[in-house]
Each structure stands twice: as structure tokens, then as C-alpha cells.
């Protein structure tokens, strides 16, 4: 073989090798770009990394639409929340981590993520939360607080769940309680400062409440026993110190499941109303931002996801 022939042979081998490499790269397997395209064609979103990136981009985009630059309460990058963290499953302390968990914590965290800030829950007694908010110890209150007409006189609300009062009785319902009208002549336990107290004994605008209704009908009145926390009120029922315990229905239902069969919750709810995040009436820009953040987590499906996690889908608003 002369030199020219050797050169021509080498050139032919080089071309063949290049063709082989191209065939292996494009034919034998599926490239990452092909996988992504296939997933997209099937309705998927590609690789997990791509999905995560898309979610992050969406969250960043949502946050970018809510301008918090002029909100005094969020200048430190944190939303400080006052809460009575003893109201499972809405908010309570995890026994293993000693950290607050529950519906309110999850909703607040999701809203804070949209706003691009952190969230901090500060524990306090329920009846002291509104005065503490007024004193600016917290930015807002989120504590299974019913957005009642009475409270709306002093604070604004971003409403996020529908819940009435639940009637908790001893197993077997020995007092045969069916509705609120059956509370006449009974001892009822509940937590201080709640709408249940207002329902039983009345408000400044409508004094007397259910107790007065019983007496006006010629029946015995209601003996009201108030406790610092809801678990204390439930224990009073179990210990025979009360005939009935009233709490928000989600809480009463949870207490029943945790009692080992000692108590049960009735199906009837009293005066369903909305839970709300309480905000000072002077904090209008914060209120508007929180309203937008709540709308964002509803639109994204995060709100539905949280309700399902805590088995509270029936409270969706």
C-alpha cells in the first residue's frame, strides 16, 4: 500500500468512527432532553429537578406580585403571631419537638412563604391576645379566633375557615343533650375569652345569651365554668365537674378522638362562623398583603392541601 492509499484509508476510518459515535448518541438511548419532552407530552413536567425549579419560580413570582416594602410590621422579615397554642388540631405543641403545629401554623407558614418572610408563633393566654395585639406585642393574632361582629369593632380580620361550636359530652350522652336548648339546668365548661362564653352568657350588646334564653322560657339557667385552656375544660368534663364542654367544632371533635372513648362530640354545630387572622385596624397595608397571600395559597391549591392534612375540608371558605 503506497502512502496515498494509507492516507485515504485513515480518512475513511475517521469518517466511519464519527458516524458510529453519532448513531450511539442519538439512537440507542433516550437523552435527558428527550425524557423531558416525553414527560411533557404525557402531561408531566420533566425531571424532579425541573418540577422543583418550576414550583420555586411560581412561588417567587407570586411573592413578587405582593409588595411588602412599605409594611412596617414586616421590615424585619418576620410575621410575629400571637396565639394560644393549646387548641389541637388548630394549634398545639408537638410533644416530641416542643414546636407549634396545626392548621393555623401551616396556613400562616404558607402565606408567609408567599410574602417572602418568616413566621413566628408566640404563645399566650387566649383572653390576653387582643390586648397584647393592641399593645403591639404581636403583628397579628392567629388562634382559632372567630371573626365575630363584636371583635370586628376593634380589629380587622382575614377570614380563612368556617367552624361552629361543638358540644362535647360524656360517652353515651347521659344528660341526653341534643341541641343548645338542652343546656338549660346543666353545668357547662369552656375556655375563658372564647365565643362559647359569649354564646352562653351574652355580650355587651346582647347580654344574657343562652342562659337568659333558658330562664325566659321558664327553665333553669346554665352554670358556666371557665378555664384558662380548652384541655382544662375537657378534663373538667371527664372528671365530672361539668355536664358538657363547648369548644370550636374542630377542636371538640379532636378532643373526642384523643379521649380514649371517654367523651363524644355531637353532630350539631352551634352558630357556625369564620376563623380570622386578627389585625390592628391601623395596619391596613399588612391586612391587604395578608388578604392577597391567602388568595394566592387558595389559587395554588396549598390551602386545600392543608385542610386535607388536618381533616378539615368541611371548613373550606
Residues 158 and 99 in one domain: yes
Residues 119 and 181 in one domain: no
> What sign does the CA torsion over 298, 302, 306, 308 have?
positive
pTM: 0.73
Residues 119 and 62 in one domain: yes
Residues 148 and 282 in one domain: yes
Number of domains in the chain: 2
CATH number, residue 141: 3.40.190.10
Residues 176 and 76 in one domain: no
Residues 85 and 174 in one domain: no
- The residue segments making up the domain with residue 107 are 52-163+274-315
pLDDT of residue 228: 95
Residues 268 and 226 in one domain: yes
Taking only the tens place, the pLDDT of each residue in 107-144 is 999 999 999 999 999 999 999 999 999 999 999 999 99
pLDDT of residue 49: 42
- Is 115 part of any domain? yes
End-to-end CA distance of the chain, in Å? 88
What are the strands of the beta sheet with 187-191, ordered from one edge? Answer: 118-123, 78-83, 140-141, 263-280, 155-170, 244-248, 187-191, 223-227
Taking only the tens place, the pLDDT of each residue in 263-276 is 999 988 898 999 99
Residues 266 and 169 in one domain: yes
pLDDT of residue 206: 87
Residues 204-209: contacts with CB within 8 Å, 24+ apart? 204/150, 205/150
Residues 231 and 290 in one domain: no
- Is 5 part of any domain? no
pLDDT of residue 311: 86
Task: Output the tens digit of pLDDT for each of the chain's 317 residues.
Answer: 444 344 334 444 443 444 433 333 433 333 333 333 333 333 333 334 443 344 444 444 554 479 999 999 999 999 999 999 999 999 999 999 999 999 999 999 999 999 999 999 999 999 999 999 999 999 999 999 999 999 999 999 999 999 999 999 999 999 999 999 999 999 999 999 999 999 999 998 889 999 999 999 999 999 999 999 999 999 999 999 999 999 999 999 999 999 999 999 998 889 899 999 999 999 999 999 999 999 999 999 999 999 999 989 989 99
Residues 104 and 60 in one domain: yes
pLDDT of residue 150: 92
Amino acid at each position: 500500500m503506497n502512502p496515498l492509499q494509507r492516507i485515504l484509508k485513515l480518512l475513511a476510518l475517521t469518517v466511519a468512527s464519527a458516524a458510529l459515535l453519532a448513531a450511539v448518541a442519538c439512537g440507542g438511548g433516550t437523552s435527558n432532553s428527550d425524557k423531558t419532552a416525553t414527560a411533557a407530552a404525557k402531561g408531566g413536567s420533566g425531571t424532579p429537578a425541573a418540577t422543583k425549579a418550576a414550583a420555586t419560580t411560581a412561588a417567587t413570582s407570586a411573592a413578587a406580585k405582593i409588595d411588602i416594602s412599605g409594611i412596617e410590621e414586616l421590615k424585619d422579615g418576620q410575621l410575629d403571631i400571637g396565639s394560644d397554642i393549646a387548641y389541637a388540631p388548630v394549634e398545639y405543641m408537638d410533644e416530641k419537638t416542643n414546636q407549634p403545629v396545626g392548621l393555623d401554623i401551616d396556613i400562616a407558614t404558607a402565606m408567609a412563604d408567599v410574602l417572602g418572610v418568616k413566621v413566628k408563633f408566640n404563645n399566650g393566654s387566649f383572653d390576653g391576645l387582643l390586648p397584647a395585639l393592641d399593645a403591639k406585642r404581636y403583628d397579628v393574632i392567629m388562634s382559632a379566633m372567630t371573626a365575630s361582629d363584636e371583635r370586628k369593632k376593634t380589629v380587622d380580620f382575614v377570614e380563612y375557615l368556617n367552624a361552629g361550636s361543638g358540644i362535647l359530652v360524656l360517652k353515651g350522652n347521659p344528660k341526653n343533650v341534643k341541641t343548645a336548648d338542652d343546656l338549660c339546668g346543666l353545668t357547662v365548661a369552656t375556655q375563658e375569652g372564647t365565643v362559647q362564653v359569649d354564646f352562653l352568657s351574652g355580650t355587651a350588646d346582647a347580654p344574657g345569651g343562652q342562659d337568659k334564653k333558658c330562664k325566659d322560657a321558664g327553665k333553669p339557667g346554665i352554670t358556666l365554668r371557665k378555664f384558662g385552656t380548652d384541655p382544662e375544660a375537657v378534663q373538667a368534663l371527664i372528671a365530672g365537674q361539668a355536664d358538657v364542654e363547648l369548644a370550636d367544632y374542630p377542636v371538640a371533635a379532636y378532643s373526642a378522638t384523643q379521649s380514649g372513648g371517654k367523651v363524644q362530640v355531637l353532630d350539631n354545630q352551634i352558630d357556625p362562623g369564620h376563623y380570622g387572622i386578627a389585625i390592628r385596624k391601623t395596619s391596613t397595608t399588612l391586612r391587604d398583603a395578608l388578604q392577597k397571600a391567602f388568595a394566592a395559597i387558595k389559587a395554588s391549591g396549598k390551602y386545600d392541601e392543608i385542610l386535607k392534612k388536618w381533616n378539615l375540608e368541611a371548613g373550606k371558605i
